[in-house]
Structure 1
Amino acid sequence: MKKSVDILGLQVISISEGKELGSVKGLVINSSEGSVAALIIDDGKWYLGAKLLPFSAIAGIGEYAVTVEGSDEVLSVSTAPDYEKLLAADIRIIDTKIVTKTGRILGKVVEFNIDENGKIVACDIEDVKGEALTLAAQRVITFGKQVTVIAEEDAFITETTVPVTKEPPVQPKEEVAPAPVVKTALPVEAAEKQQEEPEKKVDDKHRKFLLGKKASRRIETDNGVIIVDQGGEITEEVLQKAKLAGKFVELSMNIQ
């Protein structure tokens, strides 16, 4: 999963052309589908109109950049009327009030999380007491411009840090009393695996695109060791060397 803050500000890089196309300035929300429909791209040419990158056209999202196969994936708003309507709706999600269907206010949204397909899977919220909670996206009825409407049940909101489990009730001689609630943390290995799976899918897609391509120039490690010569074929071994040497992005930007 990625938080919106992890995407904002990233450079957008064309894999086939090896150039930067701009940076991510904002996210276009499709409230009816509960997803990020596109990224707003700042290419420094604001006078020519806003540019959009459909989420479906993204090849990968990493720590440094969002990658696409070519610059033609970036659209002008004037040629994408469907996205223009979503832009006009101006759904932000963050800082919207959390209100139940019956009109109770429960807090506000401070962040949201999306999967590798752009689907919003959860919202991080701050309740009226200032506590941090997580709201599963499937419990949201409406993502609005100023208000996020959810179902009434408070149980839909859980603490972000620990899930709650209940032990079987203790059976004393005279009366039955429930055992104390024990909070258990998600095992570290399971949490890491859950976080790595979407990122692995993105990496695999990127690697498949690069395999078989030719390097447009020689790529070397910081110590001068050749990873691949100019014109050399990009193989699994080359990709592994580039990744270990921290030259994966540089390699991605220099293919033909």
Structure 2
Amino acid sequence: MKKSIDILGLPIFSLIDGAEIGTVKQLIIKPDTGNVQLFLVENEQNSIGVYALPYSSAIGVGDFAVTVESGAAIQEISHVENARDLILLGYQVIGTRVLSRKGQLLGSVDEFYVDEETGVITACSFLEQGSTDSVKYFHKPNIMTFGRDVIVIHDEAQIVASLNEPKTASLTLVSDSVAETAASAETSEPPASASGYLIGKVLSDDLLSETGELIAAQGTVITEELVEMVKAIGPMLFMKLNRLAVPIS
């Protein structure tokens, strides 16, 4: 498995052409299944529009590169099923709070790990609540819900100090109906709320439309109204908003 940070920035190579055809710019997560669904692709030749590579179209995700059969695997998002909705959903694993089934706030995710073959998120590391350097881990079987605001885990006893540490206790079982109800409650909320991580941050630079129109000036505090306006304009501007959003210093 790979850290998400080790996938970001990988070049994408076409095996038929033997050429580099893009770079992994962002990992798009599908929260109801807990997997990487898409790679957003940066390509200097396709500077207009937003392009994506479905994870299922990647032949390999290696240490040096992502490989695909041909350049046709990378498509404009309007041609990729559910791509626009997932991008606008804006689900982020890193920074998401970790909550126990009993309601205890345990910390926030600082990294996640991906199965190279399937794109499934197999584990997450998180900074313990109230600490800046105490890192713990939980594996996919211990995840009850990838929620809009929190990741809910089954059993605190299954949290480990390293990825290789053996599990020491059996999971507290929760019925499928309870898990499904929780997942449904999380994912049935309006997608706009999933972008709550942006609210209260400020713009590090002017936010401009593709035509150069000023949408919001540098230093503007991001509000829910601004997020909704940007989403209405389109996913490309929404991604730009994500890049420019920084915490208030």
What TM-score does the superposition give when structure 2 sets the normalisation length? Answer: 0.61
CA-CA distance at 1:66 after TM superposition: 0.7
What residue number does 2:74 align with?
74
1:29 deviates by 0.5
Q: Is structure 2 residue 159 aligned with structure 1 residue 157?
A: yes
Counterpart-to-counterpart distance in 2, 1:89 and 1:16: 34
What are the residue-to-residue correspondences of 1:88-167 with 2, within 5 Å? 88-115=88-115, 116-128=117-129, 129=131, 130-151=133-154, 153-160=155-162, 163=165
**Structure 1 residues 100 and 13: CA distance shift in structure 2, 3 A:** same
- Percent identity between the aligned chains? 33
TM-score, length-normalised on structure 1? 0.60
CA distance in 2, matches of 1:162, 1:60: 24
**1:35 match:** 35
Q: Which moved more, 1:15-24 or 1:134-143?
A: 134-143
Gapped runs of 5+ residues in structure 1?
A: 167-256
Number of residue pairs matched by the alignment = 165
Q: Tell me the distance in 2 between the aligned counterparts of 1:165 and 1:114.
A: 19
Quote the offset at 1:109 in angstroms.
0.6
1:1-256 correspondence runs (5 A): 1-44=1-44, 47-115=47-115, 116-128=117-129, 129=131, 130-151=133-154, 153-160=155-162, 163=165
CA distance, structure 1, for counterparts of residue 12 and residue 60 of structure 2 = 10
User: For the aligned residues, what is the CA RMSD?
Assistant: 2.0
Q: Which residue of 1 aligns with 2:224?
A: none
The structure-2 alpha-carbon separation of the partners of 1:45 and 1:92, relative to structure 1 and needing over 3 Å to count, comes to: farther
C-alpha distance 165-8 of structure 1, shift in aligned 2 (>3 A): closer
Aligned residue in 1 for 2:195: none
Which one has more relative contact order, counting CA pairs under 8 Å at least 6 apart?
1
Q: Is the radius of gyration larger for structure 1 or structure 2? A: 1
Which residue number in structure 2 is paired with residue 197 of structure 1?
none
* Counterpart residue identity of residue 18, structure 1: G
For residues 224-243 of structure 1, give each alpha carbon's deviation from its aligned partner in whole angstroms, at most 9, with x where no partner exists. xxxxxxxxxxxxxxxxxxxx
Instruction: Provide the C-alpha distance between the structure 2 equivalents of 1:83 and 1:137, rounded to a whole number of angstroms.
Output: 24
Contact 1:89 1:145 in 2 (8 A): no
Where structure 2 has 5 or more consecutive residues not aligned to the other structure, the ranges are: 169-249
Q: 1:33-91 CA deviation, whole Å, 9 max, x = no partner? A: 11111111011256521111111111112222111110011111011241221111111
Q: Is the 8 A contact 1:91 1:143 kept in 2?
A: no
Is 1:127–1:133's contact at 8 Å kept on the other side of the alignment? yes
